[in-house]
Amino acid sequence: FPTGQVLKRATARAVMATASQPCRFLSGNYPAHFRIDMPALSPTMESGTIVSWAVNEGDELGDGDLLAQIETDKATMDFETPEVGYLAKIILPAGTSDVKLGTVSCCKGPYR
């Protein structure tokens, strides 16, 4: 395989392995952080498109605040923050389509 293909496959494996890990991550010199997965916003939803993020990395998250707008198979719906903290990292940028349920979309931390 060309080097680029091997790297892509290794990265894909790492992403798949990370997606199956418990919600709390401790890694290197980074503070504790928690993954926020693509939620099921309707009973028939299998994947969605991240239309827009309502917050930026580093912003404070309140319980129930608007986090993002997700386009499902039927409508565009609001995705609310599951708990308080700070948005540490947006993994999937706005416009990312066909995001399967359970895919890590962003990470939050308890503090900045």
Are the C-beta atoms of residues 84 and 63 closer than 8 Å to each other?
yes
Residue pLDDT, tens place only, 51-60 = 999 999 999 9
Which pLDDT score, from 0 to 100, does residue 76 have? 94
Which pLDDT score, from 0 to 100, does residue 33 have? 83
Of 59, 57, 61, 58, give the one whose Cα is nearest residue 79. Answer: 61
- Percent of residues, the chain, with pLDDT higher than 90: 55
- Confidence category of residue 103, pLDDT binned at 50, 70, 90: very high
Q: Does residue 38 have a pLDDT over 90?
A: yes
Residue pLDDT, tens place only, 12-36 = 333 333 443 334 444 556 667 889 9
CA atoms within 13 A on the CB side of 45: 21
